[in-house]
Amino acid sequence: MGTPANYAREGNRRPPYAVPPPPEAKEEDKVRYRDAANEFLTSNLPPLMTGHWLLKHNQSAADRTWTNVDVALAWLTKRYQESPPFERDDGKAAYCTLEQKLEYAADVLPRGVDVSWVHYTRSQTMVSLSVVCCPNHFHPDIPCPLPPS
C-alpha cells in the first residue's frame, strides 16, 4: 500500500543493473546504480515485473509461500477485503469484481502465471497485491527465495 506518487517512481521499481558501472562512468550512472541497489531490494514498492518480487528477500515469509492455489486465493481475498477498491459515485464499476479476479487467478496460477491486482481505495491509497509463481516462467534464473510451507 502506498501513494500513487511512490508507485509512479519507476526507477525504484527496477532492479539494479547486473553489472555495476565502471569506475570511469558518469557520476549520475553510479548514483543511479547505488540507489537502485539500495532501494529496490529493500523497499516494498512493487517491481515493474512481477517476477522481480523474487529478488526482494526481505518481502519473503514462510507464511506467504504456498503450493496450494486455494491458500494463495484466500490470502488475496483477505488483503483485498481489508483494503477494498473505491466505488464510483455514479454506480458504475471502476474495477472488475472480486469474483472475476478470483476466477482468473484460480485459472492461471496453476499454470505458473503470476497474478497482480492494483487498485485505489476510497482514501486514494494505492493497493498492489501480487502472487508470484516460482520458479518463474519469465525469470527462470531467479531462484525461489524460500521453499514452500
pLDDT in tens, 14-60: 887 778 888 899 998 888 788 777 888 888 889 999 999 998 877 77
Confidence of residue 105 (pLDDT cuts 50, 70, 90): very high
- How far is residue 3's CA from residue 136's CA, in Å, rounded to a whole number? 28
Per-residue pLDDT band for 64 (boundaries 50, 70, 90) equals confident
- Whether the per-residue pLDDT at 133 is higher than 60: the answer is yes
CA distance 131 to 149: 15
Average of per-residue pLDDT values in the chain: 89
Q: Are 66 and 146 in contact (CB under 8 A)?
A: no
Cell of 28: 549520475
> Is the Cβ–Cβ distance between 15 and 35 less than 8 Å?
no
Give the 3-state secondary structure percentages of the chain, helix then strand then coil, rounded to 5. Answer: 45, 10, 50
